Amino acid sequence: MSALSNVSKKRVSYFYDEDVGNYTYGPGHPMKPHRMRMVHDLVVNYGLFRKMESPRRATARQMTRFHTDEYIDFLCRVTPENVEELSQQQTRYNVGEDCPIFEGLFEFCSISAGGSIDAANKLNSGESDIAINWSGGLHHAKRFEASGFCYVNDIVLGILELLRYHQRVLYIDIDIHHGDGVEEAFYTTDRVMTCSFHKFGQFFPGTGDISDIGIGKGKYYAVNFPLKDGMDDWSFQNVFRPVVQHIMDWYRPGAVVLQCGADSLAGDRLGCFNLSSKGHAECAEFVKSFNLPILVVGGGGYTIRNVARVWTYETGLFAGEKLSEDLPYNNFLEYYGPEYKLDVPANNMENLNSPAYLAEMKAKVFENLRNIPFAPSVQMQEVPRNYDTDEDDDEPDTRTSLRQRNMRIVPDTELSDSDDEGGRRHERSYHSNGLGNSSLRKSRSDKKKSAVRSERAHKSSKSNKPRGVIMEEVLNNMSRMPMPSERQTLISSPRGGSGVSSPMSTNMSTPALVVTKPMDIDDVRVLTKREPDTDGDIVMD
């Protein structure tokens, strides 16, 4: 499968919930959902809204396709007021410092998860070629615990939805942190290949060595490219392009999920790479050139003015629109001074990734990839549920008190320019209370402790199966699903090297940037006893 030099404009769906910027992880915490409001404000003021269509929401009861019922029930019930009463569960589910309990936590998680699930359905139905959910990309969350600022793994949920129509899905991660939660979920299957380019060493989460390649049927289907400090544009492209090209040639995925974590940019508060916004976007442009359905999600990024600029730039790139380098007037213009430019430049940071080191890592990756069979096949049958005609339960009419709304308001001090640029005062606060150290320097021994907690939680849910086995069973069940109709088969066929495209894709002269507000997934089923799956949902033990 070769990259296409000239690709026609795509139909692009863009998912945004206006409430996502209202939540706060707490004073001094580097994760700021407010950045999503800044991204959307730039997208609108660049005129991309002219290509937006009416939004459509995602269905409910989908978090437990991956996460345990007990964990989702905990997220539903826990609040800052009752967290002390649930202290035992708080430890069990790894919430506290890096992953604090804040007002509206479950609603915040539902926005992220709902956007990625609905985006996957847009691709499955053939209505869009590219679906963007910048609120997603929370790649550290595990099946039964939070991790690294992430509570619900929207990426895994989106991939599970894509697997209903596509035999193989490729996940690419350019966040500076290893995508451990997604890799762990699909570690034993060949239906999902994970590929992560990340900082490795004394750095959170401490996983993602080049020797981590998967086990069982998933052996060689986990690709990890460990990097050192100072990675620049030229070096990154010198490894990203050949590795992704090789994977595309041999694995031939039907769809791609691209995690565009912005903490790999130069000057990030928690990052140590030296990518410019153009270097970061070159990865997105290269993936787009294969002409496959792409689910694009956000991820890390802690200098929020840089996050807003690079994700806006990449939104325009996916939509086929060239954006002016001069920022338009917007509600957060003061954040972008004194230059007020769209570009995020690289700095003069030393690159510790020597050409010899990168060549050695690249050779090892290629050697591992040579062990996989060409385009592994999977038996598929007709999909039992059609997303478009699935009946949605009406969302309950909820009431939020004035006190609850005020608790979700982000203080002005949390959004100051100094906080954005490294937050000297807030950054000291963050590191002094232990959050920074636990995020940046969590060692492998810490991960072993996490594994012990995970095993304990696993046993409590009456399952002694090793990592990845449950996910493998889910995927095996999916392989016995009925095959899509002829129309759906055309949609799921790779639209790159095969030259087969959806009949719904014939008119692409004008990009359609669809803004979609995902449904809050707030009526999750918490099952005490497994019941037959009546609506086609994938339910995990």
- Enzyme catalytic residues: 140
Residues facing 381 on adjacent strands: 482
Q: Which amino acid is at 156?
A: V
Distance CA(283)–CA(292), nearest Å, equals 15
CA distances from 142 to 148, 409, 453 (A): 10, 28, 11
Residue with tokens 């009431």, as numbered in its chain: 399
> Which of 40, 26, 170 has its CA nearest to residue 115?
40
User: Cis link prior to 355 (omega < 30° from 0)?
Assistant: no
**CB count in 10 Å sphere of residue 132:** 32
177 a known binding residue?
yes
Torsion, Cα of 216, 218, 219, 223 (10° steps): -160
Distance CA(263)–CA(138), nearest Å, equals 13
523 a known binding residue?
no
Q: Please count the CA atoms within 13 angstroms of the CA of 399 that sit on its side-chain side.
A: 1
N residues, the chain = 541
Check the CA dihedral 482-487-492-494 and report its sign: positive
CB 262 within 8 A of CB 308: no
> Which of 261, 164, 199 has its CA nearest to residue 535?
164
Categorise residue 108: left if φ over 0, alpha if ψ from -120 to 50, beta otherwise: alpha
Check the CA dihedral 347-350-352-357 and report its sign: positive
Structure tokens at 357: 């080191």
Q: Which amino acid is at 532?
A: P
126 a known binding residue?
no
Backbone angles phi, psi at 158, to 5 degrees: -65, -40
Check the CA dihedral 115-121-126-129 and report its sign: positive
148 a known binding residue?
yes
Structure tokens at 311: 């994700």
Distance CA(149)–CA(97), nearest Å, equals 9
* Alpha helices, H only, 215-298: 233-251, 277-288
State the binding site for substrate: 98, 148, 302
State the binding site for a divalent metal cation: 175, 177, 263
State the binding site: 98, 148, 175, 177, 263, 302
